[in-house]
Structure 1
Amino acid sequence: MRILLVEDDDLLAQAVAIHLTKQHYVVDIAADGQEAWEFVNVCNYDLILLDIVLPKLDGISLCQQLRQQGYQMLILLLTAKDTKTDKVMGLDAGADDYVVKPFDFQELSARIRALLRRGNSSLPPVLEWGHLRLDPSSFEVTYDSQTLHLTAKEFSILELFLRNNQRVYSRSAIVDLLWGAEEDPPAANTIKSHIKSLRRKLKAAGANYDFIETIYGVGYRLKPLCQEIEPQATQEQQQTLLTAVAQAREVFKAKVGSRIAVLEQVVNSYRQGIIHTQLLAEAEQEAHKLVGSLGSFGFIEGSQLAEEIEDLLEGKAFISVSECLRLDQLVMQLQQELDKTPVELINSEPRQNLLLVVSNHAEVVEPLVKEAATEGMKVKIVNHLAALDDAIAFSNPNAILLDLSIGNYTQDSLNFVKELSRRSPAIPTLVITDKNNFLERLEVARAGGRSFLQKSLPPQQILQAITQVIQPTQITGKRIMVVDDEPKVLTDIQKHLVPWGVKLNTLNDSRRFWDMFLEFSPDLLILDVDMADINGIDICQVVRNEPNFNSLPVLCIIDSLDANIVEQLFAVGADDCLSKPILCAKLINRIFNLLKRTQP
């Protein structure tokens, strides 16, 4: 909470400020009424402690001006005159309460707490969020009855979130609200350190690590409390859930390679003596996204490595040799972390598509459920936004149909659409609404919505639109041919691909390529560029000269991302390239993307 103390007695002002700071308030001091007016026009205050007798502009006049301008902050007058007239003038001017000098510091604190509670009547004296309990009067914080020992700033940040538990705060907003005008503003990294420390202390007390949730690209908030959305699962249901989570985890591992590739580009560019500020900024962004997405999929150590990478790159226009070496080491460790769990192929029937419908309108939900049953699609219902995160984690949906009117405000629903589109992997989200105007459609498109549907549409058409966005790329049964003269590379690729159920043909003698290629007729071709007899560039050119194979996906393997070689590859018609050593997540990610482009 931020307080402006307006007092011309410097000794008293400093004593009051020290007393309040110890109680985790942020205190700014103004020595006269004019300076106080300037402070109010720059900063947002929860309360003003206002002396009546002041230079330049007295307290009564300042109070009147503030109220006339529409300022609603609480005002507590400090007066040395214990006269009825003085009190009446102050209250008539718009003050909320008064304290007579000399005052007891404990009484002053109690009056401030009482005013702050009165200013937000919805807040109880003790702030609670699930098992978390914060008492502003005793400065005690507990989680599930276990005491948390917080620093002053950690306490202030947590109190800020609890008093405004629906809001998202950026790092800069936290600095503006919790650092005084006379304090040097901390770096953004400092806020992140406070949040990280708070999370660790909460986790040690039994909370989830993301009790304070990161809204990527925006800021932080308390993770919404959700009701239980499913009855306790049976052992069979739990096993099904674990299997689904494991599959989602492996798909994530395959797709996350493109983000790690950006980090590798920084290292490779540095080795070539070229470094771009834009690339560093992009790599920092990707590392930031990895922090949350890796943790969400159970890669806790990977998330911590990504966070260290983000810290290393944050705000940098240039990195030193030692930083580049450290980045290279961290990226390698990150890849090793992703490769710890082998990719497993689930040989059972494909999982039935699951649609998560977020709506409390029976006229929307009931016809969809009936129609979905005839189409072989499962449907789960969530009737309020607060339960959406838990529903996603529990059910791992293929798509979400979100009713724009589900929240208190349309913007709340749009914020969820935006958040879902930014997840890795993104969850296709379709919006259904009564409205039908261009501006609404524009907002949905900007938020990342995949479709804009009218509630008046027949359920068959709604399901048809949903089916169109649920188009997973299947690599099981795909025919992949690999040409490389290094046996170890062929063995590694085979190890990576066989668990996915592909039909694999490996060749270590490029001279025999054409006959085997025509006989095997692959869906995708992987070529080593540097081979003794006939190299991959030549083979790619031969393939592209045959009209029947113009659209065949070709992935080339190169020793290093040399710009000249990459340019040659794309000139002869290669679709993508991958540098050695070949990592499983990167290889699968590239194959998925290439097959998706050619998928009918």
Structure 2
Amino acid sequence: MRLLIIEDDRDTVAALVNFLSAQLFTLDAAHNAKSAVALVETSQYDLIVLDVMLPGLDGISLCRQLRTQNQRVPILLLTAKDDPADRVAGFEAGADDYVTKPYERSELLARIRALLRRGDTELTEVLCWGELQLDPNLCQVTYQSKPLHLTPKEYKLLELFLRRPRRIFDRQTLLDRIWSIDECPGEEAVTTQIRGLRRKLQTAGLKPDPIETLYGLGYRLRSLPEEQQDGEEMRKEGNGTLHSQSDSANDMDTDYTAAVATIQQMWQEFQERLQKQLATLEQAIAHLTTNSLDPNQRQHAQTIAHRLIGSLGAFGIPHAAELARQIERVLNSSTAALQSESVAQLETLLQQLRCITQRSPIFAVPSSEGAGTRGHGDTEIQEDTEIRGYGESRSTRRVLMIDDDPNMLEPMQAEAPNWAVHLETASNLIGARERLQSRMPNAIVLDLTFSNTTESGLTLLAQLKRQFPMIPVVVLSGQADLSKRVEVARLGANAFLQKPAMPSEVFQVVTQLLNPIEAIAAKLLVVDDDSVLLTRLQANLEPRGFQVTALADPTLFWQCLEVTCPDLLLLDVSMPGFNGIELCQVVKSDPHWSQLPVLFLSAHSDANTLHQALAVGADDYVLKPIVEADLIQRILKQLGRLSDSFVGGKSRS
């Protein structure tokens, strides 16, 4: 548990820290309102102990300000002012409790624990993992009723894991939660404490190790062996060792549902970090306004903006990622002569970024057929009902054709049953948008020109690939010159066919796009210091059969490379310690690994960085924010798994 004490009397602070530290709380202290606000904005606290009489802004006003900023952390006012009017003012300002000085230590501790029980951080009588038990009230750990003697840091780590058994904690988060602001250790301190905790648990007889290491991500509490066994038995029950095709489809749907749930949880956990990053950018802009932004602060702000490009892109918010890219560019190019213009531009960009990230993104995931898309409001039952309502089987693909040419639509309708396709049609863009709002097709065939409107199909293409990047789109056009093909490709179309086109040719392309992947056993090693991006890539690639190893620490690269023996390597360019360019050089210069395909993932779009990547042997270069459908196709291309019979939207035959 992490507490913040806001008190200007240093003797009182020392007494509180001494007393509460003995109860194994992690404590930070602030001596005025300004310092307190800065700590609250950059750290997560389970409770605040707040004095009323503070220099400058008083405690009651500070409490009111925190509540205005939507800070929900429990606040306990600790003050010598015992007048009932002061109590009323404190509670009206948003305080959760009011304790007067002098106080009884036992009463203060009881009130703190009561607030923690009422808050988001629930205190239970005893936390358990099998026969391992932790009693927060006694600060005692036992295994098989025998006491374990842990250091304060080991105790806090174990308590945090037991309270959040399914959450992954990276080293930076553990530093924030377990160590106080004044200690400032490096990430190696986490490794040391975890190692010590594991050793003591092992010595006590715990098998297996309850703390699971997720390579490149962090640590979490491992499921109990009996829970894992129960899960396996439930999956096997009634099916033996053989599964029907419908069982496989249901398993795949379950995987995708789980992937959505994982991504949604990641988004919620990312919010805390995101708000801190935005607050840091806001502070940098404020310093730039007063001409007090030093080079280190500028570099730190640029690094945050750079990482946000990948993080926000990973959550499918390309507009937000592009705003982060613009912030990075302005910070990098801002000069004294243009400072006022830069500040105004940065303030606008940051305001837009805050606005966009306040809304939860739609987490669309491919259907079990591998092409459709479902958002929050869609269910598999609804999809089955819609398909079977036409008297078709579960394997029938639904294709939406957007074209106003009856000479094209009629033969397409006649040919559709031969390809197990239910063809739906829309003769204009308005009708197409209405149909897309009601249900999602597995694929779309889109003409670019319509006789009754000046709007081009390119507008709809851009919207489709932005909102539903996993739905394949085949573009039909009477114009097939190079400039038109390039324009369509830039907007993300999956195939281009020149009109007139035979229905069989169109359906052949659609079928190949809907079935590009068989079972994939390829092993991927992804190296990127952005843990949010790593987790999102794992959540989206693993359900498709890839074996993904995510590595956030590039200093462990060679060891990880030799252990995992990947079929493809994905590298970020900008990383601390060793950058992606250097890692690629090392790989390509080693005879054993020189043929390993290397694909760069980078927010750097300048020609110089691209040239450096290609010069050291990169096989491909993907810009962040990443479009998942594009990334998968590029991975498959490097693995040599894309169909050789389909090139540029035309059959070789």
Report the structure number with the largest CA radius of gyration.
Answer: 1
Q: Shorter-chain TM-score: which interval? A: 0.3 to 0.5
- Give TM-score scaled by structure 2 length: 0.40
User: What TM-score do you get using the length of structure 1 for normalisation?
Assistant: 0.43
